[in-house]
Amino acid sequence: MEINVKPVAFVTNKRNTPTDDFWGDTISEITLAEHIPTEAFDDIESFSHLEIIYYFDQVQKETIVFSGRPRGNPAYPIVGIFGQRKKDRPNQIGLCTVELIEHKGRSIFVKLLDAINGTPILDIKPVMKEFGVQKEIKQPSWAADLMKDYWK
């Protein structure tokens, strides 16, 4: 089975290359694609946070992996691709929960999005408390170490 999707929006920001850390001060503008009507953003400002589903369009097919040490760090265990969040994924799909800063016409401005300039957006969903984590989050210690500078 093959699934075809068309971007609903695109990212504009100052980040032109994918890097692993220091995304905290990046403000991104997400602008609707021409085929999406402006009213798709109606009342979006009622939500403080959004889930952004995007496509890692600059990932080369030959770099896709199914297992490995996160960031290639020998101190971390070998982990399957579905146990980590790296960009070199089988379907090249990214997901990030962002804070909505502003809505202006066909654009929204967000922070805490780790997508580079020009990234195609596949979908945007509001964050609702009822869809949030229902129990305490569990994760291995290497994950906290890996993320220590991510949002700085």
Residue 23 has pLDDT above 80, yes or no: no
Summarize pLDDT for 86-119 with one digit per residue, the tens: 999 999 999 999 999 999 999 999 999 999 999 9
Instruction: Report pLDDT for 19.
Output: 76
Contacts 24+ apart (CB under 8 A), 13-20: 13/113, 13/115, 13/116, 13/117, 14/117, 15/115, 15/116, 15/117, 16/116, 16/117, 17/116, 18/56, 18/58, 18/87, 18/116, 20/71, 20/150
- Distance between CA atoms of 146 and 28, rounded to whole angstroms? 23
Q: Please report, for the chain, the start and end positions of each structural domain, with discontinuous segments joined by +.
A: 9-147
Mean pLDDT calculated for residue range 18-30: 83
Mean pLDDT calculated for residue range 38-48: 98
9-147, CATH topology level: Elongation Factor Tu (Ef-tu); domain 3 (2.40.30)
Q: What pTM does this model have?
A: 0.92
3-state secondary structure of 71: helix
